[in-house]
Chain A
Amino acid sequence: MAEKFDAIVVGAGPSGNAAAYTLAKSGLKVLQLERGEYPGSKNVQGAILYSDALERIIPDFREDAPLERHIIEQRMWVLDDESFVGTHYRSDEFNKPPYNRYTIIRAQFDKWFSQKAQEAGALLLCETTVSDLIMDGDRVVGVQTDRLGGSVHADIVILADGVNSVLARKAGFRPELNPGDVALAVKEIHFMPEETIQSRFNISGESGVVIEMVGKITKGMMGTGFLYTNKESLTIGVGCMLSDFKKQKVSPNQLLEEMKNHPSIKPLIEGGEMKEYAAHLIPEGGYKAIPQIYGEGWMIVGDSGMFVNAVHREGSNLAMTTGRIAAETIIELAEKQKPFSARNLAAYREKLDASFVMKDLKKYRNMPGIFHRNPQFFTTYPELVNQAAHTMIKVDGIDKKTKEREIRNSFTHRRSLFGLMGDAFKMWRAFE
């Protein structure tokens, strides 16, 4: 292929599709390369779609995007071995269009988003793995693919190739991932009749529920579990820091199996037919782990640039936003006929700094480190909270004042008064 493009986008996930769509719509000549059989066939997510990020790209996406359920209720559970203490937030405000967020099935959603990029004029080649970047000195001028005679040239290459980004590592744009900067998540999808899901989760029509979980299910590792309702299926999964998996030598499959057997979770998934088991790394290193995201003729978007807000379980919206902003930066330069040099592409980083993407990541920059050094937030506290609830709720002839003292003592016994104060300060530092 001797043809030359204005831009090459590597990958057809949320960030790559956002970039390809935005570029193609402006009239630029875009080639998008995807290693899977179809867009989405290599991609894994929980998955929640936040409407805002997509609305800014495709305002009327609700008309034909494959959406599962709009979320009207969020449950947060803190689990012990046989119990959980939880909060539920449900509002009919979330049940009025336009809906704020949806559950989606990525293989279907990514295919749809990619179709939109193609309709806007992007050329998509599937079953094509990009093996290397083609360099001219320190400048990226194209990509080498595994197809016969597969070198293609472009003025700019956007790396939207996901958390493992083989390309960014090979080119030296990014170091190897650190086990402390990524979470490993495993998940399954279970199919069951729509009515079963509606009655089990107290929902009707296409409204849905998400449950986020912390505590004993992660065996002391820093991580969370989740259970999402789709139209005719449930997604259940658990993710923990890879450094913790390594240190504790835990089998991810075993972890998920035990979570599925938790007495509060088991009845919810009972009778479902498991149809897929998936695993994926999530870049959770936060602000401090973000690499250089632009250079001579190249830009990095999405998971490849570590754009995930672990605290708020946001990733795909950051991916779409970084993809869109990267594309807008290119379009502005192209209009002014300026070259895609590192100096000019610095505008990309500046725009991200001014957006919610970097502002949010910066806000939580200390969070990963604080939680790494203080595993009690994932072990001791869930236990104590559950024991406290049990003590207060159980009617057994012991007076309430004695019970309160018992609870207070259990906290100071396990963490000491200074420990508790220190933990409160650390939490404040993490979220300030």
Chain B
Amino acid sequence: MNTIAKVEEKLFQNRYKVDAGRPHITIKNPDICAHDCKTQQCSVCCPAGCYTTEGNGRVVLITDGCLECGTCRVICDDHRNVAWEYPRGGYGILFKFG
């Protein structure tokens, strides 16, 4: 029997210091995701599953589980619609092993 662990279960093992109310990544213009981006690859390729597509085609971003890899920003090369900064000093993912 193959077991496939969900990403949420895995992120539970990680240590974070969440900067509540100050996400370090934002979608610049949500309308572009909903209307102009057919692939919405961020919703599949983000290794922490931070991006989800809703029924109405809108993309919702919750950065709490972010691993700060940069995938979402680099992969959005057709629209450049991701504003990406590092979290404030001391916040975000804190790798225990790395």
A interface residues, Cβ below 8 angstroms from B: 35-37, 40-45, 47, 105-108, 110, 126-129, 131, 145-147, 163-164, 166, 176-179, 182, 184, 186, 188-189, 233, 242, 245-246, 249-254, 257-258, 261, 274-281
Contacts and interface: CB of A to CB of B under 8 A. Distances in A.
A37 B91 CA distance: 8
Nearest to A255: B47
Given A45-B98, A276-B97, A126 B69 contact: no
A321 B17 CA distance: 33
A188 B45 CA distance: 17
Contacts of A178: 74, 77
7 closest A-B pairs by CB: A127-B90, A106-B98, A279-B47, A277-B10, A127-B89, A252-B47, A107-B98
B96 A184 contact: no
Interface in B1-23: 2-7, 10-11, 13-14, 17
B31 interface: no
Contacts of B2: 258, 261
Given A106-B98, A246-B75, A278-B97, 16 more contacts: A40-B95, A42-B68, A42-B93, A107-B97, A129-B87, A164-B73, A179-B75, A242-B45, A242-B71, A249-B41, A261-B3, A276-B98, A278-B14, A278-B67, A280-B69, A281-B71
Nearest to A161: B86
B75 A36 contact: no
Nearest to A184: B71
A188 B5 CA distance: 12
A35 B44 contact: no
Contacts, number: 152
Contacts of B4: 254, 257-258, 261
A27 to B, nearest CB: 28
Contacts of A44: 95, 98
A250 B17 CA distance: 29
A282 B96 CA distance: 20
A384 to B, nearest CB: 25
Nearest to A266: B2
B70 interface: yes
A279 B97 contact: no
A176 B75 CA distance: 11
Contacts of A251: 44-45, 49
A250 to B, nearest CB: 7
A107 B93 CA distance: 12
B35 interface: no
A355 B74 CA distance: 31
